[in-house]
Amino acid sequence: MSGDDEVGPGSIRRTVGPLGDPETVGWWESLWRPFWVLPAVVVAASVLAGVLVPLADEHLLQDVEPLFGGNADSARSLLGTIASAMISVTGLVFSITMVVMQLASSQFTPRLLGTFLGSRIVQVTLGVFISSFVFALMVLRDVRGGEAQFVPQLSVTLAFGLVLASVALFIAFIHHITDSIQVDRVVDRIAGYTVRSLERGPATEWDDTSAVPPSWSQAPGPSVTVTTGERHGVVQRVHYSALVRAAQRAGAVVELRTRPGQVRHRGQQLAVVHGAHAGDDVVEAVRDAFGLGRERTLQQDPEFGLRQLVDIAERALSPGVNDPTTAVQVLDELHRILRVAAVRPDRSAHLVDGDGTVRVLDRPPTFAGMLDLSLDEIAHYGRDTLQVPARVDALLEDVEAMARPEHAATVAAKRAALRAGQAGGPGPGERASGR
C-alpha cells in the first residue's frame, strides 16, 4: 500500500474497523485466474515439445539404451494407442467434471461452481491429458519406416512418461473430486473463507473506544447522483481509499447507495456526491472506484459466505431431500462465524481523510443483518424438524453469552422472536435485495 493508504491517525481510515480496500491482484495473478489458461499453456508446451524433441532425437541423439528401443511399426502402434486412449480418458474427465458441477449445483448451491472450476488439480489434469494426446500425434508424424527408418526414441519415451503422469493425475483428480463434494468439507471451506474475511485487520483498527465517533449531516448545497452508466452486474469491489481521496480533492462527501454483493443495473445509483456538480471530475472518479462483475465474491462481502451456507441448509431441509442433519452441520459453521462477528463492533459507516474529516459514508454489513441472514430462513424451513430448533436455540444461547453488550441484546431479541414463532423481520436496508 502507498503511504496515502496507510491506516491510523493522520491517514485515510475507517473510524472503527479496517478500511476495507480490496486486496490488490497483480497482472500475473489475474492472468492465471480463468479456467482455460493453465490447460491451454500446458497444451501449447506439448505442441512446442512435439516439434523440438523429435529434432533433438534426429540430430543430437543416437541409439540410447534406456530409451524406447522398438522399430518404426512398434513406435506407431504405441503412439496411436496413447493418442486414442488419452482422448477417450480426456472425455471421461470432462464428463466427470460436468457431473460433479451439476451435483454441486443441485445438492449444495450454484454459487459453489466457481470453487470447483478454480481448482488447480482439475485444470492441470485436463491440461496433461490433452497434452498427452497432442504430443503423441505430433511425434507420430515424425516416425519413418523403410530404408530411411527413423524412430524418435526420446520422444516416444516422453509420450509414455506423459501417460504415467496422466495415470497419477487421474488418481489425484478422483480423490479431489470425491473429497470436494463431501458436505462437511464444503461447509468448512466456506466458513473458513468467511471467518478470514471477518477477521481481516489488526485489533487496533477495531478499537471503538479510543476516539470520539465523527458525525456528519448534509449541508445546504449541490449534490449529484453517480450511476452505473452503461455497466451492470454485481458490485464486486469498492476502492474506499480512492473514494476518500477523490472526495478530499473536491471538498465533497460521498454517500454510498450500495455495497459489495448487491446487484446494480444500467443507470442505477451507486452513490451521491454532496458538494459537487454533474461535470466535476469527482463524479467519474467515484464511478471508477466501483468494480462490477458477473458473480459475488467473498473478498469484501462476508455475507456471501453466509448466503452459500444458508442455501445449502435450505436445500437439505427441502421436502425432496429431507436431510436435517446437513442443516445442523451448516448451523455449526454459522455458529463459528457468528462467534467471530459477535466479539467485534460493527464497522463504522464513516471513512475519514488525514485531517479526520468525514469523506465517505459507507453501508457496511452489521451483526444484526448477519444474524438475520444466518438464521431466519433456516429457522423457518426447519421449524417442523426435531434437530434444527434445538440447535438454533443452543447457538443463540452461546453467542448471547459471549457477545458484546450491544450484540447480546440483538441476539436476545432474535432468540425471543424465534421462540415465539416469529422469524424476525429484516433490518432496514439489510435484506431488501434478498441477501
pLDDT greater than 90 at residue 116: no
pLDDT greater than 70 at residue 432: no
* Average pLDDT of the chain to the nearest whole number: 86
Statement to judge: residues 42 and 140 lie in one domain: yes
* Whole-number Å distance between alpha carbons of 127 and 143: 25
Within-domain flag for 235: yes
Instruction: Give the strand order in the sheet containing 233-238.
Output: 263-264, 233-238, 290-293
| pLDDT tens digits, 188-244 | 999 999 999 999 888 888 887 655 667 777 777 899 999 999 999 999 999 999 999
Better-scored residue on pLDDT, 356 or 116: 356
Output the pLDDT for position 130.
Answer: 93
Residues in contact with 383: Cβ distance below 8 Å, sequence separation at least 6, in sequence order: 389, 421
pLDDT greater than 50 at residue 4: no
| pLDDT tens digits, 277-309 | 888 899 999 999 999 998 888 889 999 999 999
Residue 424, SS3?
A: coil
pLDDT greater than 70 at residue 354: yes
Output the pLDDT for position 180.
Answer: 78
Confidence of residue 327 (pLDDT cuts 50, 70, 90): very high
Output the pLDDT for position 419.
Answer: 87
pLDDT greater than 70 at residue 2: no
Better-scored residue on pLDDT, 187 or 435: 187
| pLDDT tens digits, 359-376 | 999 999 999 999 999 999
| pLDDT tens digits, 242-252 | 999 999 999 99
Domain termination site, one of 245, 263, 293: 293
Asked if 342 and 367 count as a contact pair (C-beta separation under 8 A), the reply is yes
| pLDDT tens digits, 117-151 | 778 888 999 999 999 999 999 999 888 877 778 88
Asked if 191 and 336 count as a contact pair (C-beta separation under 8 A), the reply is yes
Statement to judge: residues 264 and 161 lie in one domain: no
Asked if 208 and 346 count as a contact pair (C-beta separation under 8 A), the reply is no
As a residue count, the chain comes to 435
**Count of domains observed in the chain:** 3
Q: How many CA atoms lie within 13 A of 208 on its CB side?
A: 14
Residue 325: all three cell numbers together: 442433519
pLDDT greater than 90 at residue 26: no
Domain CATH code at residue 252:
3.90.1170.30
Degrees (nearest 5) of the Cα angle 22, 25, 27?
150
Output the pLDDT for position 210.
Answer: 57
Output the pLDDT for position 32.
Answer: 82
Statement to judge: residues 149 and 53 lie in one domain: yes
Within-domain flag for 4: no
Q: What percent of the chain has pLDDT over 70?
A: 90
Statement to judge: residues 57 and 97 lie in one domain: yes
Span 172-191, average pLDDT: 86
Statement to judge: residues 285 and 317 lie in one domain: no
Statement to judge: residues 277 and 317 lie in one domain: no
What's the start-to-end Cα distance of the chain, in Å?
31
* Whole-number Å distance between alpha carbons of 316 and 128: 37
Statement to judge: residues 78 and 181 lie in one domain: yes
Within-domain flag for 18: no
234 beta partners: 263, 293
Span 14-34, average pLDDT: 82
Alpha carbon 301 to its chain's center: 10
Statement to judge: residues 406 and 319 lie in one domain: yes
Within-domain flag for 69: yes
pLDDT greater than 70 at residue 424: no
Statement to judge: residues 143 and 39 lie in one domain: yes
Statement to judge: residues 48 and 109 lie in one domain: yes
Range of the domain at 126: 27-188
Domain termination site, one of 188, 206, 230: 188
Strand 253-256 relative to strand 358-361, pairing: parallel
Asked if 238 and 290 count as a contact pair (C-beta separation under 8 A), the reply is yes
Output the pLDDT for position 103.
Answer: 73
pLDDT greater than 60 at residue 69: yes
Asked if 312 and 109 count as a contact pair (C-beta separation under 8 A), the reply is yes
